[in-house]
Structure 1
Amino acid sequence: MSVDAPRPRHLPPEDELEEKFIRASGPGGQHVNRSETAVQLRFDARASRFLTDPIRDRLIEAAGQLADQDGVITIRSESSRSQYRNRVEARRRLAAMIERASRPPKRRIKTRPSRAQREKRLSDKRHKQAIRRLRKPPQVDE
């Protein structure tokens, strides 16, 4: 089953996507109780031939709770009353996730705080320490 919208470049082939239509939650009266307009799009990232290994790993990591322990990513879209628009939205979200995962992460450049920053941090700590000391009742030695 194909969607007529322009196909995003980062979307896997149709045979790797599985769609299930479900009833949307929330208000809407009789229409929402009778029609299955919400879409559940499933993509098995681990078994995909479309992704390279580093992209697959980053995608599953970035998917978080949307991915199960087997690497199957499930995206649910129910924002529209139209089944077609929900299908397009779910596919767009999957393509955006894959596009973000396909960009390698930037390498962190290690930096050190300057001498002035270290001294300011220590003087701020001393200042806070003095304020806390003033809040305590005076110690009486016997």
Structure 2
Amino acid sequence: MDDLVVSSSFRVPDGELRERFSRSSGPGGQGVNTTDSRVELSFDVANSPSVPDRLRARLLERLEGRLVDGVLTIVASEHRAQLMNREAARARLVNTLRDAIAPPPPPRRATKPTRGSKERRIAAKKRRGDVKRSRRTASDD
């Protein structure tokens, strides 16, 4: 297979990926019991020479809940064929890494409600109060 392209400056060579195969649960009939179609794809984020230094800290921070000793593991077992599970795991790894290296969104600039929105809010509260008041019977007062 080819290198995984995460971004223009970040490619993961095939040699840095570790694949393990095991028996999968789910569809497949009797073949499930004999075929190693489940794929575990592992990538060492912390020690990989292909991860640019400027992205490594962001990756480690954003993926910290999914890393075990700096290694990210993706599991795919939704397909009956091992090859399709390998492709699914690779696609999932690329998407996970892309999401993790995305720059953070710009900080939200705090704004105050406009005068019109304040007036509309107060008017809605008054209308609601009038509706509730009109529901009261004389004995409730």
Mark yes or no: TM-score above 0.5.
yes
* TM-score, normalised by the number of residues in structure 2: 0.71
Asked if the contact 2:23/2:37 (under 8 Å) is kept, the reply is yes
Q: Identify unmatched segments of 5+ residues in structure 1.
A: none
For 1:42-91, what per-residue CA distance to the aligned partner results, in whole angstroms no more than 9, with x for missing partners?
Answer: 222222232245533443555475x1453322211112211112112111
In the alignment, what sits opposite 1:105?
104
Q: Structure 1 pair 130/56, CA: closer, same or farther in 2 (3 Å)? A: farther
Alignment RMSD (CA, Å): 3.0
Give secondary structure in 1 for the equivalent of 2:96.
helix
Cα distance in 2 for residues equivalent to 1:135 and 1:53: 67
Please give the secondary structure, in 1, of the residue aligned with 2:79: coil
TM-score (norm 1): 0.71
Q: Whose RCO is larger (CA < 8 A, sep 6+)? A: 1
1:89 and 2:85 matched:
no
Aligned length: 134
Q: For residue 77 of structure 1, what is the amino acid of its counterpart? A: A
Equivalent-residue separation in structure 2 for 1:39 and 1:12 (angstroms): 18
Greater strand fraction, Structure 1 or Structure 2: 2
Question: In the alignment, what sits opposite 2:43?
Answer: 43
Matching of residues 17-56 of structure 1 within 5 Å: 17-52=17-52, 55-56=55-56
What percent of counterpart residues are identical? 35
CA distance in 2, matches of 1:54, 1:133: 63
User: Shift of residue 31 of structure 1?
Assistant: 0.2
CA 1:64–1:24: 2 relative to 1, 3 Å: farther
Given that 2:16 and 2:48 are in contact with CA atoms closer than 8 Å, whether structure 1 keeps it comes out as yes
Distance 1:51 1:129, change over 3 A: farther
